[in-house]
Structures are given as structure tokens and as C-alpha cells.
Structure 1
């Protein structure tokens, strides 16, 4: 009842304010019109005028009414800089605190009760850093002040903390506005607008947020680096931990701009992509594809044959491919580029110092202005009981382990239905292994649209893979010489179990960022599933950056390199200009056969996010080159803004889909629509024509029918087509009479 009464009183006061047009007095025009009268009152009754202004200002801020800015200017004009500053500072803080208390009294309990779980992290953050958050918002108001008052009332911040932080945080801005008011008070003609004083005041209004932001950055840095002694000089401009894609590109950029940079890598240069991921898997995929083409030779008028091969030679070819690519990422190459490469384990000792435990047993310490953490990720092994006893392989270990085998494992179980799992399952299936792929989710490749998942499943099954979705790995057992995996699943609502005997078990259920072993914990750098960074890829310490798989949000080689540019440039030149990492156009491809490539939104994501879209689709089974190559399967699907050709996302399923996607990636990055793609000449006959044809499908769907109807009439007229109706009859009669 108390809450209802309070809300009723507040609503009545606000209604009266607008009903009697009192807001007209809180405009710049109203201020100028009443300026002389206000100054007269101040001269005749200074105490009463001050009290009235104080109470009105408190009411305006407490009720979140419009006009507080105008009142601040008015007070500056009437009371001058010093007393105006005092009056506004206290009145605004008292009013803000009243609004804060009302929100807390009326809403806090119900909001916390309803959203308590979701607000837990916010509550903890406010209890820990609430004063700093509030000070930041007050100093640089990214949120309107009245919203800050109301929202902070819903948090556990103490009232006295809210009051003194608000008064302190609003003081610089209040000073600027009151000073502007003193200058406005002197304007009595248009010429006064160009006076130096008022020009200076408006300049201050413009640059104040920038200065406040700089001040806040300085305050934050002082807090973050408190307890650490910054070196007077540095050994390096940049130290990079990790020699994968992100680390290599970061070091390369630094060396290219003549910075002194050290790259630290404990194991193999090139990271996961070269040694365990992209390169070996694509080499395996190629061998498996050739084997499948031999089986399918009859599709090309040739005689199909069952491929005969040495599995050991297949695996050796993979290592040969790695060896051929290896020089691109070698110590020798990067040393020649100007990068110092240290082979060992790097550990961050303090924000500017890295200790390197060299592989040869030595220890070296380096100081650097900036540090880039590019430690990568590692395969996740699910905690399945008994898995250590039966043994398992991951995408990191299978290349070395299987290279020791003379024959391909006859019975293989592959856990995981994501891109890595699907690529490996299809490849080993095509090479003759009896592969059973297990996925706990209801479909493969859950990040793609359901129709893509179905096509992927069909492609894998065609390659001899048994796909078990909605199956969960429960435990592994050794039964004599047999290794057994027990799965659980549902059948008609009843829980069931299934046993699979296997020779090799491959875990491909995802990868986790490497977050331990190089000093993050001691420095208090926050981690969750990845290293926590801001939009500039800065960690808790502004001079320490993270890039690549260790930073997320994507685990692709090309995004690691993309992030590395931002990390390196911000690390070296961030004091002058910082760049926010741009994830607006990120492509990726799953290299099964047919390939699945995507950029931007999928249809499922658009629906989940409530984004309006149109779908345009072209079937590759209609494409001349695909028909000629006997690869006529798949589609190009484009999501566009309704009624426009702006591309929101593209999914391509088909041969060389990853290559075909590049045109759409370029279009989205450069803001080009489907009309531009339609107007581009594509060589005939190529697979790339699919991109043009899908643009043509969009154009047909958006043809201007009314205009075309008039154009048709125009062409009829130009041909002299006989008219219909009475006019035509008169014409025919006239012709008959002449005859």
C-alpha cells in the first residue's frame, strides 16, 4: 500500500507538471525570456531565490523530469560560477539520491526476486566494483543520468556510496555546464554568441567527454597496475607467447613495422593448424576423396575399382605435406623477417616481464612494452569413465599414432558431430574403416540449419559412416581383448543402452583454450572458457593482449590471423589510435564432401534473434558445370533484408563451396548487394556461376511487375498490335468500307 501511495503521488506531480505546461519554463527560450526577472529576484531576495532553485532542481532530478540541463545553465546565469556550482552539485546529488531510493523502495525486491539468478553476476560486480562503475557512468554518461539513478537503485550498492560517488562524479560535468550558463547569461544579442567566453564554454562542452574518458583510463590503469613497478626501459617492443597462426601474424606485423619483437614457442612452430589441424586433415581428406573417386569411376564412363593402398603410405603422405608447408612457419623464416624466436615456455611474471624457460635448460627474462598471448587451444577429452583404460586419440595425437599402423583400424568410433568429427569420420570411412560416429545432440553440425545437417548426415552415410545422433557416451570397458563403448539413448521415451566394440576411439568433441601455465592466474587476468578481453583484445592489463583460439569467440585459423592484426597494431600504436576487432563478416567451411560453407547469419540464427529476412535459393543440380562434373548436388542459400538486396548471410553446400563463398564474403565486407553480383561477368562454364544465378533468382522475385506491364503495352504498341474493344471494331469497319 505504501508503494502504491508513493507511486500515485509521484504520478500526480508529474501529471500536474505537464498539464500546466510547466516544462515551457525549462527550455532555452524560457530561460532567456525570464533571465532578467530571475536576476531581479536574486538581487532582491537572494536567500529565498536560492532555496526555491534548490528545491525545484531537487524535484526535477528526483522525478526524472526533462529540463535539468536548462536549469543548470539558468543557475549559472543567475548565481555565477562558484555559487551556481555549489547549488547544482548538492541539489542534483540530493535529487538523484531520492530517485535512487524510490526505485529501491518500489522495485528492488520484486526485480531481484524475479531475476535474481540472472542478476547474480551483476550484483557481485556492483558489490566488488560498484563505486568505480558508478563513477565511470557519472563522469562519462554513456547512459542518461535519470536511468543511472533508477537502475542503481535495483542493485545492492549502499546509499551513502551512491551519494558521495555521484556528487564527485558529476562535479566536473556540472562545472562545465554552470560555466556555460554564466556565458549564456551575458548574451543579449547575436553578436554575443561569438564572444570568446561562450565559444570557450561550448568547446569545453564538446571536449569534456573526451577528457573525462582519458582521465578514467588513467585512473583505471593506476588501479590495475598498483603494486607493480614499471621498468624505466624495455628490452622489446613486443613479446608474443605462442607460435600458432595468431602468434606468427602478430610477430610478423611487429617485425614489418621495425619493432623489436620476440616470439616464444615451446613445441612446434605453426601451431595446431600446421601440425594437427587444417593441413594434415586436408591432406587426409584429399586421399580419401581420390579413393572415393576410384570407387565412383563408373559415373564418368570409366571402370570402377576398389582402391588398394598402404595406410602407412597415406599417413606418410600427410607428414610429407606438413613438411612441405613447414618452412612457411619455420624459425628460420621468421628470424629472416626480423623476429627473434625463442624455443621454450613463456610465463608472464608481471605486466611487462616474461620469463622464458628455454628448451635447452636455460632461463631468460625479457621486459616488453606490450605482450600478446596466443597460446591456442587443445582438444577436449570428455570425462567418460574407463576412457583412459581403453585409450583414445584426439586430433592432436592421431597423426603420430596412426602413422605407426600398417593397416587402417577396422572398427573406429568417433565422438563428436561438429566439423572436425564429420571431416575425420567421412575420410576414414572412405578409406575403408567401419566408422561409427556418435553425437549427443539430435543432429550433426548443430550450428548450421537443419537441412544442412541432413545433407551432411546423408553424405557421411553414403561414405559408409554409421551416424548415431541423440546418443550419449556413458562409459568405456575392457573385456578381454575387446574395447567396448556403452551408449545411452531414448527409444519411444524409454532409456536404452547400446554397446559398440572398437579398435580405435577418436575424441573430436571440441577444443578448449589453453589458460594455464603461463602466468594468467598470478596476475589475476580473468578467464572463463577463454581469456577475457575487451573489444580491443586487451586483457585486464591494457598492455597485455590475447588473440586466436585462446581469446575466442571463433576457433579458426583465419580469425586467429584476423585478430592478430588488431592485437599487434593496438599493442604497438594503441596510445595513439586503437582499433576494435571486427567480427561482422566471418566465413568458415566444413570440408566434408560436399563442402558446407557459411558467412553471416544462418536461417536458424535469424529466427532465434528475431531478425527479419528473405531467403533466395539456387539448386546446384541445375548448374551446367556441376552437371558436367557429376557433382550436381547442394545449393546456394542467401538471406537478405526484406525488399532489399543487402546480404545478411550465405550458406553454400556443394563441391568447392569454401571457394565459392569468397565472392559473398567480399560483397558483405564491402557493402555490395546481390545486384552487383548479378551485374558481374562470371566465366562459363564454372561453379562460380551459381553465385550469379542465385542473384538472378532474387532479381526475378523482386521484378517490378507494374512497370513490366506498362513496358509490355509499350512493346505491343510498337508492333502495331490490333486494339481491343469499340475502337478496334471501328477500325475494322472502316477497313471493310474501304474494301
Structure 2
């Protein structure tokens, strides 16, 4: 911290301390204003210019330091100076004070708070980027946040001071007028009968109605601004059109049909999306086969003779397809048509914000209109621009299911969940797997102790881990596929038979003609959604992988409820999507399941926490199953049992995590988990035993020592060991 910041902080602390020590807060109350109004009015009449200057400086000081009393000072402006002069003084002083607070926050707090509250600041930055000055005007007209908080938070953004000043002045003007006018009427209360005067009642009515009127005004202005140049249809074909029939689209259509809305579901490929056809369902079927192979290979752990795994890789992959076919009816057009959904096959593109064109496989087109539209077009694997990679016919999580012969040498690019799940599955099914990861460990979003346990198992499975390693070029040399990688400054040559690219996913937005309605995806293909999942237009929504930030099937289904309900009933009430408790599982062996904060995230955000750990080698069921490895780690508020996050590493980790997810969702602490009866012997007991570890660490030691003496006295012996 430089000297300038130290001096400024010292001055602020001195000013705030003086405010409280001198009892200034007692003067800035409605009671004090009414008691001293006559004396103040008389003095102002004698020293009008000086009074205005003192009042303005006081107002600037209070607002710039975010001290209490700004509302009373605004009323005082009307009571002491009248409507016009009071309005001018308050408007000037509040704007100057807001700008000072803005600059102080930018100078003192910007770097620290942007890091600590990055999600909030990022959300506001997106609002400013999208709507510019109109976003600030919205906050001023309809105070979602207190004004002093707006001053501080806006200082953390990239907004220019001049823009902040004039927008704040203009947007605060209507509210300032309402408060100043209320102050002028308040100043006229001389007797109880004056309270029921028409002017005073009107002023208080305006005071109460202003937030509602301002909200309606902002909504009207936004609609006019957004929909300028478009003509809204007078009659619609549907209440809701859903584009994409993956998890998000299916749930959206299901909800709409359940409340008897007329809904169309458009899918250009296969119903069920990635989850059914190329993601969750096939990958978990493959992982199950791989785990069975590993069990047979190590049957001696269970008192049986280990056997070499024999079987056809083709048969394994055909089983994967059979599982898909068995699940497929759950997501079929027949099922959804029976629910009342119009299922349409074709590629949808926007014509207007309310109208889409659907092009079928035979080239025929039809146009449909709807009051609301949901984009649920999912995502696809990202393909990095590495020289020569495209010539290798790379596999992805979308295309790997076409294999019918096992790769002898499989190169896996990426150490995230998808890369890890598939790398381990292929290794257990007999492939020689080389896994390349640019970070220094796998699953870098998890804590290092989690990654370490997974990496030890990968090495035991024979996977060749290449960490701190980046693929730079691919070549075909004498008929052999070769990858060149950079690792710790050295160039590695890695020959392989197939390469699987698992370096993240990008949103699917191609072919939608978003440019026609002024929508632009982010660099990763996802769409910039608002907190209610709407896009630029309040009636157009996005959910699932195309929206982010979580690209999980259950996250897509979670978002779909908000998109569908807001799309159908958003004119009456809108819901902000709730991400406070979002669990996820990586289905490696051991499984990795997490909800809430990890230790590294808590440290990065400056969140105080305690750690409680329970090792699964103590769990009877884990010992009986031959899976006595892993741990449960719970983060709690220091000294309290409120859960901030939990991670489970081990067999059945996903099932164990459900109890912590339920507890966090409904505000249940570890004491409640400890008090819950768990059947024995089950994996779920791990949650209870973790809660027990927390309880032991927070046992009241002084009370226990007194109880020890009490029980000794009850036995008639020494009060405690060692006493006479």
C-alpha cells in the first residue's frame, strides 16, 4: 500500500470517528429535524448563503463517507429551503458525494474487492457492457442496492467518472424531487390536524409509490429501447418455442406442457441431446464395463482367483449403444407428444425476436411465432488450433462412441473430468493411455489432495501422466501418428494410434441466425444471459450448456425451470436463477464429488473456514467392500456447524454427497446430520461420521472436565484422577 492510500485511509477513519464521537448521528434524525426546525429556519433566514454552503458540504460528507442520514438530510432540504432551492442543493450535493465515494472506492478498494467479490463485480460489468449508462440509471431509479453500495461498487468497474456523474444526477432527480417535496410538506406540520392535509398525504403517497412507478418506467424504457424497429405479432402460434431437445430443452418443454401452455420443441438431430447420445449415458455405461474389468483383473482382493480380462471391445461398445436405446424412450418424441408437446425435426433460425424458421431435412420450411423462446442448443467439444491436429482425425466425447476396435495407444489431451473419466476407462479396457495436461495436476478445479489421490490411482492403472505438458504440433511420420509436446522446456515426441481431445466445451449457436436479432455469443460460444436467464430481449431465454456457467446435465435441468417459468409468467413475476448450491461428480475411480467451496476457492475469496476430515478407511462398509480409500472433507464457518462446502473422494462419493447437498440447500448444519439415524453398514454413514469429527473437535472441554469430577463424586471416589 502506498503512502497516498495510507493518508486517505487515515483521513476517512478520522472523519468517521469524529462523526460518531461528536454525536452527529443524533442530529441526523427525523426527530431532531422537527425539534430544531424553527430555530434552523430562523438562522437560515439570516444567513441563507452560509446555510446553503454548510448544508451542501454536510450532505457531500455524509454521502461520500457512506454515513447514515442521507435520507433525513434530503427531507431537511425541502423542509428548510423549499422545493426548488432544496432540490437544487440536494441534487448537486448527492451527485458530488456519490462521485467522491466512487473515486475513493476506485482508488482504495478496486484491486482488493474485485478479487474478493469477482462474481458480483463481473455481473455488474456485464450489465454495463450490455446496457451502458442505462444500467446505472436502472440502479438509481429502482434501488436494487442501497445508493451508498452503488457508489462503492461502481467504483470497482471500468465506468468513466463523467458518465457516472451525469447519469447519477439525472436518474436520482425524480427520487430526489419526491423526497424533497415530502420534506416541504413535513415542515408544514404544526398541529395533529395537519397530518391529514392533502399535500402531505400526496407527498407520502408519492414516496411509497415511487419505487413501483420507477420500476415500471425502467421496464417500459428498456422495452422501447430493445424492441425499437421490431413489430410484435398480434397473434402467436405458441406460448413457448424451445430450440434444442437436450436436458434443458426437454425439461423446459415438459414444464410448459404441464401447465397447459402450447409449446413446440425443435431438434435438428436426436432427442435427448448430448447427455443421452454422447455424454452421461454412454460414458457411464463404458465406465461400468471398465470397472468390472478392473474387478475381474484384481479379484484376489475379494478372496477369488484373479482372471485375465477376455472380451471383445466391440461387444463393450455395442452394450453402450444398447444402454442408450434402453434409455431413449424417456426422451422420445412419442413420449413428449403424449404430454402435449409439438415435437418438430429441423434446424431453427431466427427471423424476428418472436419468429423462427424451421428447415426440415427435406428442405421444406415453416415459420412459427411464440410469445417466448428458449434457446437450449447445448454445447460441443472444443477443438484447439494445434498445427496438424485436424489431420489426425481426432476423437472427442462426441465421436469416440463410433470406435469398435480398442486403440492400442490412446493419447488423451486434457486432465479435466471428461478427459480423466475416458482415460481411465480405456486404460482399464486394455489400451495404453498417455494423458497430457498443461497444469501440474489433474482435476485442477479441485483441491490438491483430491488430485493427488486420483493421480495415484491413475498411475496404478498404468496411465502415463504427462503433467506441465502442452501439445504443440502433430505430424504423420512414416505412417505413424506423432505428437510433439513441450514439457518443462523440453520437446517430447509421443507416438500414438488415436488422439482423444477433451479440452472443454463451447456453446452451440451456429445456424441460429442470431445476428438477425442482434445477439452475439461470447468467445466460447455461450450466450450472455441475465440473472433470470433472459437475453437481450426479455422474452428470449437461454439455458443449459449454451448459457453456462455450469455445463452439467443437472445444471441444465435446474436452469430450465427458471427459463420456462419466466418465459410463461415473467410478465407477472421473474425468478433469478439460484446457483448457491451446485453439486457435481467426476466418475473416475475413486469418484470425486463436490458441492460448495473448496479450500483453494475459500482462500482465494478470503472466506474464513474450518476443515473437518474423515478418512474412509475407517468406514466399516468401505472395508467390507474392499474400497477403504478416500476421504470426506467439510468446510464450515469457524466455530459453527454451517457448511460452506464438502468434497467426497472414494467409491460411492456421488451418493454420499447428496446428504451434504440437501443440508446446504435447506440450511442444515453438521449437528443435524449427526442427529440423523443412518442404517448400518452403509456408505451414507460417512456423512454422519464426518459430522462426528466436527463435534469432537468442538466439544466443550471445560464442561467435560467438570463432568468428570461430578461422576467421580457420584461414585464416592476421588473427584478426578490424581486427586486426594
TM-score for both structures, normalised by structure 1: 0.87
> 1:177: how far off?
1.2
- Give the distance between the partners of 2:17 and 2:690, measured in 1 at CA: 57
Matched, 1:519 2:513: yes
2:315 aligned with 1:313, yes or no? yes
Q: Give the secondary-structure state (helix, strand or coil) at the position aligned to 2:383.
A: coil
Give 1:350 shift: 1.8
Q: Quick one: which of 533, 539, 542 aligns to 1:537?
A: 533
In the aligned structure 1, how far is the partner of 2:246 from the partner of 2:598? 29
Q: 1:187 maps to which residue?
A: 189
Bigger Cα displacement from structure 2, 238-247 vs 694-703 = 694-703
Kept after mapping to 1: 8 A contact 2:106/2:155: no
Change (3 A) 1:75 1:480: closer
- Contact 2:239–2:263 (Cα < 8 Å) also in 1: yes
TM-fit CA distance, 1:541: 1.0
Please state whether the residue corresponding to 1:263 is helix, strand or coil. Answer: strand
Relative to 1, partners in 2 of residues 1:38 and 1:723: Cα closer, same or farther, differing over 3 Å?
A: closer
Report the CA distance shift for 1:311/1:200 in structure 2 as closer, same or farther (over 3 A).
Answer: same
Given the alignment, which residue of 260, 263, 267 partners 1:261? 263
Contact 2:99–2:165, Cα closer than 8 Å, also in 1: no
Change (3 A) 1:219 1:665: same
Closer/same/farther in 2, CA of residues 586 and 108 from structure 1, 3 Å limit:
closer
Instruction: State whether residues 89 and 170 of structure 1, in contact with CA within 8 Å, keep that contact through their aligned partners in structure 2.
Output: no
The yes-or-no answer on 1:622 pairing with 2:625 is no
**Structure 2 Cα separation of the partners of residues 657 and 396 of structure 1:** 26
Deviation at 1:470, TM superposition (A): 1.0
Aligned twin of 1:375: 377
Contact kept? 2:674, 2:692, Cα under 8 Å: yes
Q: Does 1:433 align with 2:431?
A: yes
Which residue is 1:443 aligned to?
Answer: 441
Q: 1:688 to 1:514 in 2, by over 3 A?
A: same
1:499 has 2:493 as partner: yes
SS in 2 for 1:258: coil
* Secondary structure, counterpart of 1:169 in structure 2: helix
Give per-residue Cα distances to partners, 1:249-284, cap 9 Å, x unaligned: 001000000001111100011000100010001110
Structure 1 position 362 matched with structure 2 position 364: yes
1 CA distance for matches of 2:333 and 2:554? 21
Cα distance in structure 1, aligned partners of 2:606 and 2:20 = 37
Which residue of 341, 344, 356 maps to 2:343? 341
Q: What SS does the aligned partner of 2:346 have?
A: strand
Deviation at 1:203, TM superposition (A): 4.5
Structure possessing the higher radius of gyration over alpha carbons: 1
Task: List per-residue Cα deviations over 1:329-351 (Å, max 9, x = no partner).
Answer: 11111111111111111112222
**Between Structure 1 and Structure 2, how many residues are aligned?**
706
Instruction: Output the CA distance in 2 between the equivalents of 1:635 and 1:477.
Output: 43
Q: Report the Cα offset of residue 390 of structure 1.
A: 2.2
Identify unmatched segments of 5+ residues in structure 2. Answer: none
Q: 1:715 to 1:531 in 2, by over 3 A?
A: same
* 1:557-572 paired onto structure 2 within 5 Å: 557-572=553-568
- Contact map agreement 2:712 2:720 (CA 8 A) in 1: no
| CA spacing shift, 1:258–1:187, aligned 2, 3 Å | same
Distance of aligned partners of 1:261 and 1:182 in 2 relative to their CA distance in 1, 3 Å threshold: same
Residue 452 (1) aligns with residue 446 (2): no
Alignment of 1:6-405 (within 5 A): 27-37=29-39, 51=49, 54-64=52-62, 69-77=71-79, 84-96=82-94, 131-141=133-143, 142-144=145-147, 148=151, 157=160, 165-189=167-191, 198=200, 201-400=203-402, 402-403=403-404, 405=405
Say whether the 8 Å CA contact 1:392–1:507 is kept in structure 2.
yes
Q: What's the counterpart of residue 731 of structure 1? A: none
Question: What is the root-mean-square deviation of aligned Cα atoms in Å?
Answer: 3.7
> Contact conserved, 1:474 with 1:488, CA < 8 A, in 2?
yes
Deviates more, 1:469-478 or 1:122-131: 122-131
Gap change, CA 1:146 and 1:716, over 3 Å in 2: closer
**Separation in structure 2 between the aligned mates of residue 553 and residue 298 of structure 1, nearest angstrom:** 44
Secondary structure of the 2:310 match is coil
Aligned to 2:692: 696
The more displaced of 670-679 and 164-173 is: 164-173
CA distance in 2, matches of 1:183, 1:678: 60
Aligned residue for 1:248, secondary structure, equals: helix
What's 2:631 paired with? 635
Cα contact 1:443–1:469 (8 A) shared by 2: yes
The answer (yes or no) to whether the contact 1:88–1:174 under 8 Å persists in 2 is no
What is the match of residue 705 of structure 1? 701
Q: Which of 572, 578, 581 is the equivalent residue of 1:582?
A: 578
State whether residues 185 and 200 of structure 2, in contact with CA within 8 Å, keep that contact through their aligned partners in structure 1: yes
Residue from 463, 468, 471 that aligns with 2:469: 471
1:122 & 1:568 partners in 2: Cα distance? 25
The whole-number CA distance in structure 1 between the counterparts of 2:373 and 2:711 is 70
Change in CA separation of 1:514 and 1:95 when aligned onto 2, cut-off 3 Å: same
Can you list the C-alpha shifts for 1:159-201, whole angstroms capped at 9, x where unaligned?
5x77764554233212321232233223335675576764554
The separation in 1 between residues aligned to 2:292 and 2:156, in whole angstroms, is 67
Shift of 1:28: 2.7
Partner secondary structure for residue 393 of structure 1 = coil
CA positional deviation for 1:124: 11
In the TM superposition, residue 33 of structure 1 has moved relative to its aligned partner by 2.8
| Distance in 2 between residues matched to 1:542 and 1:321, nearest whole Å | 40
Aligned 8 A contact 1:61 1:68 in 2: yes
Structure 2 equivalent of residue 737 of structure 1 = none
Tell me, in whole angstroms, the C-alpha distance in 2 between the residues paired with 1:307 and 1:19. 80
TM-score (norm 2): 0.88
Decide which moves more: 198-207 or 336-345: 198-207
